[in-house]
Structure formats: C-alpha cells, structure tokens
Amino acid sequence: MSLLKIEGLEARHGLLTAVQGISLEIEQGETLALVGANGAGKTTLLRTLAGVHPVAAGRIVFDGVDVSALPAHRRAAAGLALVPEGRKLFPAMTVQENLLVALSAKREGRWNLGSVLDAFPQLKPKLKAAAGTLSGGQQQAVAIGRALMTNPRVLLLDEVSLGLSPLAVQGVYDSLRTLMGKGTAHGTTIVLVEQDLARTFQVADRIVCMLEGRVVASGRADEMTRDQVMAYYFGHRTPAAGGTSQPASTASST
C-alpha cells in the first residue's frame, strides 16, 4: 500500500483552479520529482499536501488515514513535512532556535539537533547566529534541517535550488543524497519540486510533469528521456495528443 495517496485533488486560488483533479500514489522510500513550468500548480499541490492551503475537492490519504481536513501542524505531527519555497526561516531567531521550534511536532526518530548538525556541519559555527544573516545555501540547510527535526515520514521539498549559486545547490543535493539513504533501510520518502531537469534525473526515482494544474506525464526516471519531459513541460505534447505517457497512478505496477 502506498504511503501517500492523492485522489482527485483540487485546490483553488479564489476563482482560479490551480490544481485540477490530481491523482498520485507515492510509495515508501521513493523519490518523486514534480516538474512543470511556473504556474503549473506544483507549489500549490505541495502546500495543499502540507495543509497550509485548503482542499477544494478530493482526498489526501497518508498512511491509510484521510488527512484532508487535518490542520497543518497536525500533519507535521503525523510525519508529513514541507520545506517551503523560499526557505521561510524565522529571520530574527537563531539557527538553533529555528531548529528547536520544530520539536513542537513532538515526533521521535533519528533526527535531533545533534544528528541534523552532523548532516549539515556547515551550520555548527552558525548555531547562535540570526537565521536572517546566513547565506542562501546555509539558509536552505537550516530549512531542510528544520523539517528533518520533525522526523518526517514524507518530506516535501519545494524548489530547494531557488536563488542559490550552483555550488550551494550542489551542496544541498549532496546532503539530500545522504538523506535519501539510497539502498539503506531508512530512506526517507521524498517529493521534490525542481526546475532543473538535469538534477531531477540525477535524484528522482519517478518524474511527474504538471501543466496548468494537471498531470500530463508520469514515468520512471530511467525510462524517460530529457527531451520527452521537456516536451510535456512546455505543452508541446499532451496525453490526449498521444505521447508515451502513462497514467499517473500505475507507478506501483512496475
């Protein structure tokens, strides 16, 4: 049974439907990448999953429990964590305080202040510094570390490379690779939104492409080519027009 199941999810911004009838299943331990142009609805989808955006229609089932009506802090307590777009740290609070506030989710696990600092050693000297004074890459590390402190079962990452230098992005993905624990027993389930297709192919098990609020392509990363994904990304190819797309929810049938 999949860890996170999305059934016919719809989310709106006022009168505009940003997410239209999305159905997805995410397995334990897999890394799913969401790609798509700006405005495709990726961030709205993640925010709706995390609970900071209301569900207009459809269901979110997390580990067999319907969490669609659960407020965000309870979903975090259940193990569904989001690293929001733009990091969204608490700038006046220190790095340590930013990390510690996540203890509010009250989840036990392998992540605590010590292990997070081991995963992101560049933060150790900056522990008492105000989060707003850090560089982009360091802030991203704090943001991810903060989410990890909640010991999530599913980690949602929204454009972690946004606004970062190439070197910083490399650093972030190196840490992520350790987190994903490829081939280990405790790999975290990850859903990540990423604009950089090269990176996407490097880290993802499965890729889902969105356009105008819908899923237009879905498949295993090793079975799709970059050109194929780009075609769906720009809308040059749609499922109706006939491409090599598969229905979104057959991921488990491999």
Question: Which positions touch other proteins (CB under 8 A)?
Answer: 50-52, 71-73, 76-77, 81-82, 84, 88, 90-93, 97, 100-107, 146-147, 149-150, 235-236, 238
Nearer to other proteins, 138 or 151 (CB): 151
Nearer to other proteins, 56 or 72 (CB): 72
CB 67 within 8 A of CB 100: no
Nearer to other proteins, 107 or 199 (CB): 107
- Nearest distance from C-beta of residue 61 to other proteins, angstroms: 20
- Nearest distance from C-beta of residue 144 to other proteins, angstroms: 12
- Nearest distance from C-beta of residue 185 to other proteins, angstroms: 25
Count of alpha carbons within 13 angstroms of residue 77, beta-carbon side: 9
- Nearest distance from C-beta of residue 2 to other proteins, angstroms: 23
User: By 3-state DSSP, what share of the chain in percent is helix, strand and coil, each rounded to 5?
Assistant: 35, 25, 40
Nearer to other proteins, 76 or 251 (CB): 76
